[in-house]
Amino acid sequence: MYRKQLFLLSLLLMLLQTAAFAQNNKLRVEPSFWWTGMKDSNLQLMLHGNNISTMQPVFNYAGVEVKDVVKVNSPNYLFLNLNISGAKPGKFNIQLKQGNKTVHRYSYELKQRAAGSANRQGFTSSDVMYLITPDRFANGNPKNDSVKDMADKLNRNDRSGRHGGDIAGIIQNLDYIKDMGFTALWVNPVLENDQPKVSYHGYSTTDYYKVDPRFGSNEEYLELSKQAKQRDIKLVMDMVLNHIGSKHWWMDDLPTEDWLNFQDEYKTTNHRREAIQDPHASEYDYQLQTEGWFVESMPDLNQENELLATYLIQNTLWWIEYADLGGIRMDTYSYPDPEFMSEWTRRVMDEYPNFNIVGEEWSLNPAIVSYWQRGKKNYNGYVSYLPSLMDFPVQNAMVEALRDDEKSWDTGWLKLYNTLATDFLYPEPENLVVFPDNHDMDRIYTQLNQDADLTKQAIAYILTTRGIPQLYYGTEILMHNSEKGDHGIIRTDFPGGWSGDKVNAFTGKGLTKEQLDMQQYMKKLLNWRKDAKVIHTGKLTHYAPYKGVYVYFRHNGPEKVMVILNKNELPYELELEKFAPQLQGVKQTTDVISGKAYNLNQSKLALPIKAPLILELK
């Protein structure tokens, strides 16, 4: 009996050791597959496995040339630099040999690139983006709410916890998004964030090639893209190249001694973005801006490491190709190494000339923001290839203009007028992304002190000014945050996205009269804008605000739209004489919002109180 127990125990230990060896000896290859027909025929493979630097990579596939094999500080990595210019689609085995013994065998595939992939059209000024925080939009698959071996479990009672929204929930509500009139979908990061807590937002990546299982899978993300495309909606991926999560698999085995900035001594960024352009900036401030960590749970990547830089560039191309993306929103654009960001955007735009990328540079100074746009002639010679940026200066000026009174010569609408007047700083102001709010700031309804009339004017402006509009989920139903600055409340659950919700914004059930009114208001404007080409590409001419009224025209030859934003709470008549050059020959017009007809063949126009007018001049 004793011998039998001893035998069984020995067998169990052997099986456990074998399993542990197999786990430790597992080979990871990234990217796991690639495509033929890419403009850049170079391909870098990152191989990771136990002590593989002592092994010899061997394979034989026509058209695939090994340029070099790079070993690094960690013995568990090999980097293969290949040229695949002559290769055809197909599979081949990569073997890692120790002498004559094959220790690892990996079946690698070069896929056929989709026809026309290089010429894909990115988001443009004809689009309007709907921004979604996936954990807070809709729970389409409750089975993935919590995942075994992932620490951050479902907790809807915690404003900073995971609430269960997922990719399936977005797919199930694509018809709502389409019917509202949106044509592009920016989804906050969906890649794995296997952090111990506050992982729902997605900005602490722990695997660059894997969708977080609590959101779904790579295949579901691809399905989202396909389903969106069938509804003429482009998918915009939110990416983070500045930092990773502290539980990224690299952190257990960093490839090199310089994979991270301040790898041996954690330092926090100073957030002094101006130091990059400042001709008087100290080297200390510049370095801390580009190399300091956001927080200790977000290690800062060193993009000056060429192996890492190539890895990040290829990862971007992989997701564009795999998920058939229609654009990228790049988080914290000015925080990584500036030269790397220049090369990253160059490589992406070289591969996809009609693509679009919007970068986040959260500065209220147009001179700072414009520095990063493609075509800008910078004093220090810095060359950028970034097509678009988030227009934070206009967002801030719009809110201040709406909140301020009109009693002084430099308050109210003049703040917005003056900010738009700095468009000469941008090479392509029409390609900036304009927005009333986003996932990182108070809801626009909150910023405007829960004034629905002012919120309507903000939406009217965003949807008719130059640029590419972006609206945050829930703005259409006046979602607000009771505690200002609290991200967990700003990103609150969309009503109707969870089984049992008493209010359902997708159907309108339980919404207040004011919420339904705003939803219909936005739906009307968004669907009108779809076909309003003069808004997409027309020139903007604005007139200096006067007595609480701001007027501008979008015009493209015979096509004209007159936008009147009126903050007056008492009846006001707008004198039309100064607008004569734009109104010549126009006698009657109709307001897009109300459908009401207006007579322009007179000296004054009676304006609706504290409301916008959008007049098509035909």
325-362 confidence digits (pLDDT tens):
999 999 999 999 999 999 999 999 999 999 999 999 99
- Whether 191 is covered by a domain: the verdict is yes
How many domains would you assign to the chain? 3
Mark which of 535, 565, 597 sits at the end of a domain.
535
At residue 407 the predicted structure's pLDDT band, cuts being 50, 70 and 90, is confident
Does the residue 466 lie in any domain?
yes
Phi, psi of 327 (to 5 degrees): 165, 170
User: Residues 474-496: what's their mean pLDDT?
Assistant: 96
| CA distance linking residue 227 with residue 235, whole number of Å | 10
pLDDT at residue 17 greater than cutoff 80: no
Same domain, 439 and 545: no
DSSP state of 515: H
| 203 and 279 housed in the same domain | yes
19 or 517, which is more confident?
517
Same domain, 426 and 507: yes
Contacts of 325 (CB under 8 A, 6+ apart): 120, 225, 234, 235, 236, 237, 319
Whether residues 521 and 601 fall in one domain: no
State the Cα–Cα distance between residues 220 and 215, nearest whole angstrom: 9
- Confidence category of residue 4, pLDDT binned at 50, 70, 90: low
pLDDT of residue 25: 66
- Are residues 379 and 303 both part of a single domain? yes
Sequence letter at residue 531: D
Bridge partners for 191 per DSSP: 211
Q: Is the pLDDT of residue 473 over 70?
A: yes
Rounded Cα–Cα distance for residues 192 and 215 (Å): 9
Is 518 part of a structural domain of the chain?
Answer: yes
Residue 552, in any domain of the structure: yes
Give the integer Cα–Cα distance in Å for 402 and 555.
25
Surface-to-core class of residue 499, CB atoms within 10 Å of its CB (0-12 exposed, 13-18 middle, 19+ buried): exposed
Residue 259: helix, strand or coil by DSSP?
coil
**Which domain CATH number covers 380?**
3.20.20.80
Instruction: Decide if 1 is inside a domain.
Output: no
Task: Identify whether residues 597 and 528 lie together within a single domain.
Answer: no
Tell which of 480, 510, 535 closes a domain: 535
Under the banding of pLDDT at 50, 70 and 90, the label for residue 606 is very high
Question: Quick one: pLDDT at residue 19?
Answer: 39
Per the CB < 8 A criterion, the answer to whether 122 and 356 are in contact is yes
Instruction: Give 375-384 contacts, CB < 8 A, sequence gap 24+.
Output: 375/427, 375/428, 376/426, 376/427, 378/277, 379/279, 380/277, 380/279, 382/338, 382/342, 383/342, 384/341, 384/342, 384/345
pLDDT score at 354: 98
Give the catalytic positions in this structure: 331, 360
Indicate if 129 and 83 belong to the same structural domain: no
Residues 475 and 394 in one domain: yes
Establish how many alpha carbons lie within 13 A of residue 212's alpha carbon, considering only the half-sphere containing its beta carbon: 35
Residues 79 and 46: their CA atoms lie apart, in Å, by: 5
Among 378, 420, 375, 370, CA closest to 398: 420
Strand order of the β-sheet with 65-70 is 28-30, 42-48, 77-83, 65-70
**Residue 22's pLDDT band (cuts 50, 70, 90):** very low
Is 207 within the bounds of a domain? yes
Same structural domain, 522 and 571: no
Last residue of a domain, one of 113, 135, 155: 113
In a domain, 13, yes or no: no
What's residue 5's pLDDT? 53
Residue 12 domain-assigned (yes or no): no
Is the same domain home to 466 and 553? no
For residue 33 the two structure tokens come to 């597959």
| Domain encompassing residue 97 | 23-113
- Joined tokens for residue 236: 């915009």
Shared domain for 95 and 150, answered yes or no, is no
Average pLDDT over residues 222-241: 98
In terms of domains, do 260 and 317 share one? Answer: yes
